Amino acid sequence: MKKLRIPKLLLTCCLLAAIASCSDDDVLVLQSNRHAGSGQHQTPPSPDKPAEVIEWGYPFAEWAMAGSVLMHTPGEELFEGVIHPSAGLFEHYFDVDKAAQEHQNYIKMLQNNGIEVFTVMDILNEVKIEKLRALVEGVLVYDISDIQDESAEASEEYRRDIIQQISDDGRLEGGDYIPAGTVSFIGMGMRTNPEGIRQMLDADAFGHDTVVVVKDHKYWQMQMHLDTHFNIIDKDLCTMVTSRLTAQPGDPEYDTCDIYARAPGTKPYALVSQDVPFVDYLKIKGFDIIPIDYDDEMHYANNFLTIAPRHIMAVAGQSEVLQQRFQEAKVTVEWIPLESLIDGYGAAHCMTQVMTREMKNEDFLEQRVQIQACLEYAESRQNCYEVKLKINLSFAND
């Protein structure tokens, strides 16, 4: 058997995906050793560090080079879902065997780009059961409140901490989260609600000092997550479906956003701007926006995976118009045949969990230049958040 080099975080994710089960009232949220279990921020890499590339266990930005990815090839567990697609939350019936072949091809395309792909089964087959049990005991919370036990102290021994638990009325789903350098984007709509985001902010689970809550007013299944109508290709380039890009105030497609910020090194966030037009915010941040028209949107064109700056993996079969737009923006696109898989209500982005990304030192240098410029002309640190929200102070020194 091939020996796998398995990061502990990746093993944890696989365990939670394969072993743990959550009730409708509880969602487990994972995070890497960025906080190292202490609730403190990991010190950002120094721009003076001689290494050309820095690997981050936590995705610093959606456009940073992907290093390792977690995936799961579909199999017999889909049987009941394809028999009753709506009950399985699938769009249509699809051929599971063809879907598995498409998925394997996608894995090979990622590997051809030097990306290390782990599957849940690979890891579970590699690791001894004793190690799995030990790791589970360290990352799961055991709710035994309904179990009668004579010794409260003995019961407490079964409890373990996790990074954050979204509970009660909170709802949170991964397709609504996109990291963007010094900013976290989190969608709020059909699947992620205000209470879930509030709990994340209170727990410091985002890590970034600026969190942009993108508010969806349409509530449409085909755009259930932020990554179905907005995505990022590079630090200055993104996509958005045309209906939202051209929407006017009052239209259900008109996205607005609330911006939360905090001083570096502190925990509480403050709401610094509310109901900002999302398109305007992106333009202020320096993003060019590639529109994705309706027919391409219905073919999951926006649900691509960015594996490096201006290099994406996207669903094949898109229009010549969109292909030309990508070409004009100097975007390298690898088109993936996913005709069966997309009938499961997902595409290239949904099928992957990027575990590590790499970032060049010049990216940090550019961040520092922006921050220093703000500090020089602003009357206070807080003004750096408020002046048109152009930048934030995520990596500023005290």
Q: What is the CATH number of the domain that holds 171?
A: 3.75.10.10
Task: List Cα–Cα distances, 383 to 211, 248, 324, in angstroms.
Answer: 16, 29, 40
In this structure, is residue 394 part of a structural domain? no
pLDDT, position 44: 41
Tokens of 118: 């782990």
pLDDT number for residue 263 = 81
Comparing C-alpha atoms, which of 91, 99, 70, 28 is closest to residue 305? 70
**Under 8 Å between Cβ of 237 and 231:** no
Closest CA to 6 of 163, 104, 119: 119
392, part of any domain: no
Average pLDDT per run of 10 along the chain, which is 398 residues long? 45 42 33 30 39 46 92 83 73 82 96 93 78 66 52 44 63 90 92 92 85 94 91 97 97 96 82 96 96 96 96 98 98 96 87 83 53 49 41 33
pLDDT for res 21:
29
* SS3 call for 303: coil
HSE-CB for 99 with a 13 A CA cutoff:
25
Pairing mode, strands 256-261 and 270-277: antiparallel
Flag whether 3 is in a domain: no
Q: How many domains does the chain have?
A: 1
pLDDT of 167 reads: 72
Q: Considering the domain boundaries, does residue 398 fall inside one?
A: no
Show the domain range for 296: 8-386
User: Is residue 277 domain-resident?
Assistant: yes
pLDDT at 235: 93
